[in-house]
Amino acid sequence: MRQCPLIHRAATWFAAAALSLASAPLLAQPSDGDLRRALEAARAQQWERIDMAELDDHPLSGYIAYHRLRGKLPHVEPERVLAFIERHADSPLSDWMRGQAISQYGAAGRYRYLRQVADGEPEGTHRQCHYYTALLDVEPEAAAEGGLALWRVGRSQPDACDTLFDTLRARGAIGEPAIWERQMLAWQRGESGMVRYLGGLLGSRWQDARNALARVQEDFSAITQVPRCIGPECRGSDALFAAAMHGFTRADTEAALEAWRKVAPHLDLDPAVHDAIEHDLAFYLLVRDIDAHAGWRDDVVARLADPDLLELRVRTALAARDWQGVIDWVHRMPDDPRQEARWQYWLGRALEQLGDPATAREAYTAAAGERSFFGFAAADRLEQPYALNLERNSVSAADRERVAALPAVERTEALLRIDEPGLAASEWYNAVARSTPQDARALADYAARSGWHAKLVQTTITGRLWDALEWRFPEAYRDEFLRWGGTTGVDPYLLMGIARRESAYNPEALSPAGARGLMQLMPGTARQVGQQLGVGDPGPYGVLDPALNIRLGSTYLRDMLERYRGNRLAAAAAYNAGPGRVDRWLRDGPEAFDLFVESIPFRETRDYVQAVLSYRVIFESLANGGESEGVALLSAAEKSMRYDASLLARN
């Protein structure tokens, strides 16, 4: 049968079209390079360089949209801001956009718009001031409460607070007592310019308060001579006595206590102010080892039952070898801190010293269940393995596949590809914070398999995966630690513990003091050790190289070990606080290793030494397949030697 010519031509056309479509290239997807260039242009608000339509399918297109919308603030309607926030709810872009809108709507006085986009009190003083300013006419009580909280600080606040404070002052919500209170807070902080400014806002009724302030500013001891009633209706007394005693206690604790005991019975202060003054006095009597007023001090410590004061009191008892006092003061602690391994260990030590080994063993057993320095020390006392409480985690193939496909993970990978590590970290930690426990483990697994050591450690913190030790203490830079540990003769697990504590494996870590890299070397130390090794000064960026940083850090630690006859406790303390301080502590040393650790006067260094030695136990145990058998917190020599001047190699 002959085919119809029309049908034949149609069939031929469709076949040719199909062949053409099959052979034609697919539409090009936006590349990371395109996005990188677009992001640079967006930050500069150079929109003529960007074709938004071409970038729609890229995982990071939201970052371009963020800069476009931010650039239109404060003139864009809040509905568009809210739509952006909802569309990017799984990204930090959502919170960033809300914060930008609050700042810019507030600065422009578009308070109705601000209220629409705000979701309760925002973070940051600047935005909080805009937020409460926006509430002045619609929720005046909330505005007054929030404004007063922002007012009651002894430092200058951002200009964004001016309208809020001026309005609250005009309405009487910030009255002269609040002005006086802030003036006293400014005096405590040494903000003399602010003290003068605030004094100028007070009326004539406050002249007696001004006179009293002038007297105690000149001489703290005049606190015993100023009127007991300060300001109208005595409304300035609390603030003046709190501020004056704050300064007096720090300047001369014994004289301050003498003055306080004279005036306190005659004052009608708020109980919280009274307790705060006595807390300060007791605290400084303890830290300055002033024993002349021990009875008064102990009465205050017992009455206030403040955990920090009780801790100090136990440490004072330890320094005096007052073992019964150690027991009594530990028993006064609230339940939570008292059950910590540290205090159960010291209970055991005290009971042992007083000849009660059975009860001491109970305390040591309670302590030994904890994975910590004193938990391990208690296990040593019991001659039992350490309780690592190791949680083994396995992630299914399905969970791995599902997590890898999460938009947040795709954005993190894309941000790393375009060299935006800060944005990548924000995306990643936001994803972890929002995740379920199951997903947090899958994300940790992803970070581990990707070799993201610093992100992995932070993932376990954000995800509260405290017992996932293989993730919390990964084998990061292991070969370098083994290499330079072997070269310098330094325990490589100690090096790992220091690096883990110092930088959490962020090779570009920079401390506020200027320490850099994995092992947080100060520039002067890096230069000195570099010259010692013949490699010269690595400079601020060369020291960030992980291999060089570990080499310099291990050499410096070797020098500290040599200084302290191979003692790792003293060397770790010196790595953190400097050898000069450790030399002084050893000259006043309390002899036993545990007493030396507890006697370190800096909390940071005290915690540091305990963490580093505990971490090295964990690293060595993980290297043993997760078993602590045969792993020791300290060597026999380190546990038995005297921690005093005899430990100084240069003594």
Catalytic residues: 502
> Measured between alpha carbons, how far is 324 from 303 in angstroms, rounded to an integer?
19
* 530 token code pair: 């570099």
Report CA-CA distances (Å) from 597 to 573, 591, 606, 639: 9, 10, 6, 12
- 240 with 202: CB under 8 angstroms? no
Residue-wise DSSP of 362-404: HHHHHHHTSSSHHHHHHHHHHT------PPP----HHHHHHHH
- 613 with 569: CB under 8 angstroms? yes
- 138 with 115: CB under 8 angstroms? yes
557-564 LR contacts (CB < 8 Å, sep 24+): 557/488, 557/490, 557/494, 557/495, 557/498, 558/488, 558/489, 558/490, 559/529, 561/490, 562/649, 563/648, 563/649, 563/650, 564/647, 564/648, 564/649
* 86 token code pair: 């909802």
To the nearest 10°, report the CA torsion of 624, 628, 634, 637.
-80
* 354 token code pair: 């007083």
* 455 token code pair: 């992100």
Burial zone of 598 (CB within 10 Å; 0-12 exposed, 13-18 middle, 19+ buried): buried
Number of H helices, E strands in the chain: 39, 0
Among 64, 124, 59, 71, smallest CA distance to 415 is for 59
Measured in degrees and rounded to the nearest 5, phi and psi for residue 100 equal: -60, -40
Measured in degrees and rounded to the nearest 5, phi and psi for residue 468 equal: -85, 70
Residues in Cβ contact with 476 at an 8 Å cutoff, skipping those fewer than 6 apart: 453, 499, 505
- 420 with 60: CB under 8 angstroms? no
The 3 state secondary structure assigned to 73-110 is: CCCCCHHHHHHHHHHCCCCHHHHHHHHHHHHHHHHCCC
- 176 with 202: CB under 8 angstroms? yes
> Measured between alpha carbons, how far is 626 from 386 in angstroms, rounded to an integer?
11
